[in-house]
Chains A and B, each alone.
Chain A
Amino acid sequence: MSRYFDVTLDEPLENVSSEVPSSKKPLSARKKRSQNRRQIRDERRNVNKLVETVKKEPRKRPLDEKRVQFYSRGEGLQDTKHIKNAYYRSKFENKEKKFEWATHQSTRAELLLTEEQGFLVAERGERTSNIKQTELSNTIDITSATKHFNLDLQFGTYRANFTRNGRHLIIGGRKGHVASFDWVTKRLHCEMNVMEEVFDVQWLHVETMFAVAQKKWLYIYDNNGIEIHCLKKINKPLKLEFLPYHFLLTSSSEEGYLTWLDVSIGSIVSQFNAKLGRISIMTQNPYNAVLCTGHPKGIVAMWSPNSKEPVAKMLCHRSALSAVAVDPSGLYMATGCVDHTMNIWDIRNLDGPLKKYKLHSPVTDLAFSQKSFLGVGLGNVVEVYKNCCTTAVKYPYMRHRLHSHIGNIQFCPFEDVLGIGHDDGYTSVLIPGSGEPNIDAFESNPFQTKKQRQEGEVKALLEKIQPEFISLDPFEMIEVNVPSLKEKIEARNALQQLKPQKIDFTPRRKKRRMNEAAVKQIVRAENKKEFVRQIKNSLTKEENVDTKTETETSSSVLDRFKPKRPKQKR
């Protein structure tokens, strides 16, 4: 505390006085006046200077342009000069200002973030990948050290799944062992053996319910291990994913079916055969809720419940895929292959991999962390790569070797922890820097109380996004559909400029002779009327026809008996 007061005074305080030093000689009146004037002038100047300095000082802390860009929602309307109406111009300008203000505010709010990201720096000449978990847990504090632990279990290859707030964990062994617990306090919620093969486990929107893909059907249990539902409509599920904002539980099956189940109302939104065989690799794109499935032909297909055809399909590898993972920001996708290769793709731009990696053994599983660390399971080794999407990295950031084969890996949200399910149980590994340090309690809160969870559930249900909105670009719905609008207008204009075909004929001669020209006129007018009517019909039917062509895709031999669609002349 003393450091605030140890200001050294050069002079004793008594000397510092506000008195004007008395002059020896009394000044003459004129001199006095001129001195006064000078004083006043100087004072004014000083005041002016002060004002200037105040003006020059920036009123707010300048913002880092990169951070502003990070929070920005896009470019916005750059040039408003082309808007002719002054009212609308100012309206749009004001709107843009508001958006800018909001972006700046959220950038400034960074100041309030309390936590900082973890890190690991090796000694000079060493690599971080050589640092072992035991070394790491010896150097860090006890609470963090307890997060590295190992569960020895005997019921086969385990799969692990964290809740969205990273607080609870569920593990499912291939031989039927299912257990859910709070992995931080190690408090067990339930443990049971379902006496059936377990392929996958998945938490639903809250930690009171989870889904288990068992040998025949999909089951839903509550946190006491009581079976709530058995979904016989979902047959032989292999992989499960939960889309939290849509309340959709998705599964891929042995027989190649994809299913979207709305857990809030309990009905199947969409279920179809992907026609690509057994689907054992499935992951969701957290940015747009599109499912990505990997196939033995080296193909990655992306699915939305709204179409039976994949919304995107790409050939990623020459041989069978073994794992797919998508970055939480929805920018990058990592695909692993049995031929020891791993590719990084830009999802928005699907041509050519961004990065190609050659690994020492085939990839078993891939997982992205919240800070875009990539965990790669390779047989019995887990490697974690940092910044591998943007730069070509040579060495892993961390490496952990196990004694058994890996089932799956998942990074724990909001923690620097990687969960590994493997043949001999479950291992939790510390990966410093992998988790998001600052939580947003309105989205997912590891410290939430029961009441908060219940309230959050209600809020989330009210905000449930309808499955129709699942598409590659989630922001598509608030954008103006410019090209198609243009096309529509052009098509309409083109239709209006069409002219009826000319009829050239000589009317039949009748007994009662009629004026030939009049007959011609009548026939031509009728022809024109008919033509106009057709155009009108086509204008109204256009939209319906478009939707029909999308849905009617299957071709059948019986199609030849359908009425032919009239040809349109353009």
Chain B
Amino acid sequence: MKVKVLTRNPDIYLRETKKDIHKLPRNYDPSLHPFEAPREYTKALNSVKLERVFAKPFIGNLDGHRDGISCIAKQSHALSILASGDYCGELRVWDLPQRKCKWKIQAHDGFLRGLTFCNDNERFISVGQDKTIKIWSADEQYCKVPEEPLSVILSSTVITGISHHQKEPKFATCGDVCQIWEESRAEPLKVMEWGVDSLQHVAFNPIESHILASCASDRSIILYDTREAGPIRKIVTKMRTNQLSWNPMEAFIFSGANEDYNVYSYDTRNLSMPVNIHEDHVSAVTSIDYAPTGREFVTGSYDKSVRIFEVHKGHSREIYHTKRMQHVTNVCWTLDNKYIVSASDEMNIRLWKARASEKLGVLRPREKAALEYADTLKQRFAEFPQIKRIARHRQVPRHIYHEQQQLRASKQKISRKEANRRAHSKPGTVPFVPARKKVVINEAS
């Protein structure tokens, strides 16, 4: 007779000392793990609930400006540095982790219109309503208050915006015309104009660094090339574009924050219609900035909210708002892809997490694994109605809620009317026009 009976040696299953970790043998036999599907569903439901529980995106605010903030600029070499300018011409440099103002200076008389760091990050440039361009030196730690700007350039025209070249010591300003400057010269290198327009924003392409785009108050977006004599292309949209931002990963994509509550993403290779329409704001979108990954962008709006959009999706994935935040004038996404900075009319700069429920700080390996597992489960069960409902539910302020309802009603009304018109006309006379084709009115090159 041969016999073997199961005997477990406790030494194999129990830890030797109290300081050891517990021994946890695994066996992946499916019959030992029943109810895989409903258990994973329950886990997914729990993790999506926890995600909403932990969604506390607001980190803190930087206060100190004595007027509404007109512009902010991020530094590409130091994550902790942020510069901001306000309506009364004050310029401040902030230390983001400390949430303190490093120094301040009265830079311009009146409105400080634009701020940008130079490509080598040793200087930064501000432009103001007083038709001056001031170049400031920035020491390593931004500890010293510069008494005088390095140089002051007096411009003949009003300047409303500025953007620096990614690689060369050149910058572009906009106002009545678009001008390309070199840092060392007092006269513009080039003046580019297309008809009579006043431009409110200009942005250099970070990859194709000779290309820049500006948006004009005659509802147009104009593309320039610094190597050419004049502007290259122009599109006229239904409403004015307030700001635009280039995708830092795809050189040919840029998105414009439009006055008609939407954000339009364009492909420079085909400007006849936008590649995507991002809608959700209930008032004019005033500012936009891409995440360094190029997969998402953040927008600030006149409706007192900040929204985060995914590039390929038509609706926002997140809305940030507080009780006291007023019209958002500027937003930027920090270069570590973790934080969002928003500046608003009521003199505050706010710091947000880019992913609302993310845990800040270092994650331990088990914690990380658990979060990754939860993310996978959420993805897997994303389309289940209960999970979908929880994941997309956001509490919005009352004014936004009502505005949304009104907008929905008006959209329904328009579509109903069109359908009625179609139903009562000769077939083919009222064609179906996709929304994307209605955006661009005129295209010129």
Residues of chain A at the chain B interface (Cβ within 8 Å): 70-71, 73, 106, 109, 112-123, 126, 131, 135-136, 139-141, 143-144, 147, 245, 286-287, 289, 328-330, 370, 414-416, 430, 432-433, 435-443, 445-447, 449, 452, 462-466, 469, 474-475, 477-478
> 6 A-B Cβ contacts within 8 A?
A73-B30, A118-B6, A287-B34, A330-B34, A436-B27, A442-B24
User: Beyond A118-B5, A121-B1, A440-B33, is A465–B28 a contact (Cβ under 8 Å)?
Assistant: no
Decide if B39 is an interface residue (CB 8 Å cutoff). Answer: yes
Binds A, one of B41-49, B111-119, B212-220, B272-280: B41-49
Whether B35 contacts A474 by the Cβ 8 Å rule is yes
Whether A71 contacts B28 by the Cβ 8 Å rule is yes
Q: In the complex, which residues of chain A have a beta carbon less than 8 angstroms from the beta carbon of B3?
A: 118-121, 136, 139-140, 432
Q: In the complex, which residues of chain B have a beta carbon less than 8 angstroms from the beta carbon of A109?
A: 26, 28
Q: How far is the CB of A207 from chain B (nearest CB, A)?
A: 17
Whether B14 contacts A447 by the Cβ 8 Å rule is yes
CA distance A123 to B1 in the complex (A): 5
Which residue of the partner chain, among B1, B10, B32, contacts A447 with CB atoms under 8 Å?
B10
Quick one: closest B residue to A443, CB to CB?
B32
User: Beyond A329-B31, A440-B25, is A462–B6 a contact (Cβ under 8 Å)?
Assistant: no
Whether B33 contacts A462 by the Cβ 8 Å rule is no
User: Beyond A139-B1, A465-B42, is A113–B27 a contact (Cβ under 8 Å)?
Assistant: yes
Whether A462 contacts B46 by the Cβ 8 Å rule is yes
Q: How far is the CB of B1 from chain A (nearest CB, A)?
A: 6
CA distance A135 to B32 in the complex (A): 32
Whether A465 contacts B39 by the Cβ 8 Å rule is yes
Q: In the complex, which residues of chain B have a beta carbon less than 8 angstroms from the beta carbon of A442?
A: 24, 26
Q: In the complex, which residues of chain A have a beta carbon less than 8 angstroms from the beta carbon of B27?
A: 113, 436, 438-440
User: Beyond A415-B6, A436-B29, A443-B32, is A131–B1 a contact (Cβ under 8 Å)?
Assistant: yes
Taking chain A's interface residues, is the majority helix, strand, or loop, or is none over half, making it mixed?
loop
Decide if B142 is an interface residue (CB 8 Å cutoff). Answer: no
Chain B, residues 15-31, CB within 8 Å of chain A (1/0): the string is 00000001111111111
CA distance A141 to B7 in the complex (A): 9
Whether A245 contacts B2 by the Cβ 8 Å rule is no
Give how many B residues have a beta carbon under 8 Å from the other chain's beta carbons: 34
Whether B5 contacts A432 by the Cβ 8 Å rule is yes
Quick one: closest A residue to B22, CB to CB?
A452
Q: How far is the CB of B275 from chain A (nearest CB, A)?
A: 16
Residues of chain B at the chain A interface (Cβ within 8 Å): 1-8, 10, 12-14, 22-39, 41-43, 46
Residue picked from A139, A414, A445, A463, most chain B C-beta under 10 Å: A463
User: Beyond A114-B12, A438-B27, is A474–B34 a contact (Cβ under 8 Å)?
Assistant: yes
Residue picked from B1, B5, B12, B23, most chain A C-beta under 10 Å: B5
Which residue of the partner chain, among B10, B35, B43, contacts A245 with CB atoms under 8 Å?
B35
Whether B4 contacts A116 by the Cβ 8 Å rule is yes
Q: In the complex, which residues of chain A have a beta carbon less than 8 angstroms from the beta carbon of B28?
A: 71, 106, 109, 440
Q: In the complex, which residues of chain A have a beta carbon less than 8 angstroms from the beta carbon of B32?
A: 436, 440, 443
Whether A114 contacts B25 by the Cβ 8 Å rule is yes
Which residue of the partner chain, among A120, A289, A465, contacts B1 with CB atoms under 8 Å?
A120
Q: How far is the CB of B170 from chain A (nearest CB, A)?
A: 39
Q: How far is the CB of A24 from chain B (nearest CB, A)?
A: 67
Q: In the complex, which residues of chain B have a beta carbon less than 8 angstroms from the beta carbon of A131?
A: 1
Q: In the complex, which residues of chain A have a beta carbon less than 8 angstroms from the beta carbon of B31?
A: 328-329, 370
Whether B6 contacts A289 by the Cβ 8 Å rule is no
Q: In the complex, which residues of chain A have a beta carbon less than 8 angstroms from the beta carbon of B29?
A: 70, 436, 438, 440
Q: In the complex, which residues of chain A have a beta carbon less than 8 angstroms from the beta carbon of B5?
A: 118, 136, 140-141, 144, 147, 416, 430, 432
Q: How far is the CB of B381 from chain A (nearest CB, A)?
A: 8
Which residue of the partner chain, among B25, B30, B34, contacts A71 with CB atoms under 8 Å?
B30
